[in-house]
Structure 1
Amino acid sequence: MSGGSKAPPLLAGGNPQVAKGEGDAPVQAYIAAMPGWKSEVGRRLDALIERTVPGVHKAVKWNSPLYGVEGEGWFLGIHCFTDYVKLAFFRGTSLHPVPPVESKSNDTRYFHIREGDDFEAQLAAWVTQASQLPGERM
């Protein structure tokens, strides 16, 4: 980071510790702080979500960017781990096809992105579907 500003600390698994906040700025701070190849994945994800859901609502809560529809709740969260970026689709069991990784929560399903993965095509379909479902209130 430039201007002498200090990069946010990384928590377990390399997840950036970014102050919670509403809007694009805290999400961009999180993406900029994602370590190594994960930052590029974050930029690609954010751009894909913005293209797919015009006017998407963004926030960072619990050190994770959240994406939603204003007044409708959150449909997607992002979290960094050591070897992958985890996407949490809060109504994932309603998506077709269902994202592959199960959750302790009945409705949530996960998708893991690893270095070098090509994910845009499937993700655009899931984001479109997820944004049309009732969101999670957090």
Structure 2
Amino acid sequence: MATSGTRKASRSSSSAPVAGKVRLLAGDNPQIAKGEGDGPVQAYLDAIPGWKQARARQLDALITANVPKVSKAVKWNSPWYGVEGQGWFLSFHCISKYLKVAFFKGTSLDPVPPVESKQQEVRYLHVFEDEPLDEAQFVAWVKQASKLPGA
């Protein structure tokens, strides 16, 4: 999930409508057109099947409630979260058996999220159906990540 490093999160409020049935990619990840703002992210969340939808909405709500003026977009068939002028700090993606949350500067978080990445600074959190999300820890990571220069 690397970016050019010069891209910055923006607060555009465009809401690209999703026409027709959404195609599900591997792991039931919705194929949603790229777009800036909450509208495309909500379209992505609406298209997630099964238990993953409720968990994805939980993540979105926690991020939105804890990062004032959070920027949102859909890029590469995943919702991205950022802070205007700082860049993107988090994204998640549907995998067959879990949601894969990517903290782009995860190695700078305390404690470091549990799952390593091939990308040097990225760390992951896997959210499973049958395991409760530690909301306090997730929110702590989100708050820390949102204060770091983003991807």
TM-score range, shorter chain: over 0.9
Q: Which of structure 1's runs of 4+ aligned residues deviate more than 2 A?
A: none
Aligned residues: 132
Please tell me the residue identity of whatever aligns with 2:65: R
The aligned residue for residue 100 of structure 1 is 114
The aligned residue for residue 11 of structure 2 is none
Is 1:134 the equivalent of 2:134? Answer: no
CA deviations 1:97-135 (Å, max 9, x no partner) are 100111011000000000033221210000000000000
The aligned residue for residue 16 of structure 2 is none
Q: How large is the Cα RMSD of the aligned pairs?
A: 0.9
Sequence identity (%): 64
Mapped partners of 1:117, 1:95: distance in 2: 22
Please tell me the residue identity of whatever aligns with 1:81: I
Please tell me the residue identity of whatever aligns with 2:35: G
The aligned residue for residue 96 of structure 2 is 82
Please tell me the residue identity of whatever aligns with 1:122: Q
The aligned residue for residue 48 of structure 1 is 62
Mapped partners of 1:128, 1:116: distance in 2: 25
TM-score (norm 2): 0.85
- What aligned pairs does 1:1-138 form with structure 2 within 5 A after superposition? 6-119=20-133, 120-136=135-151
Runs of 5+ unmatched residues, structure 1: none
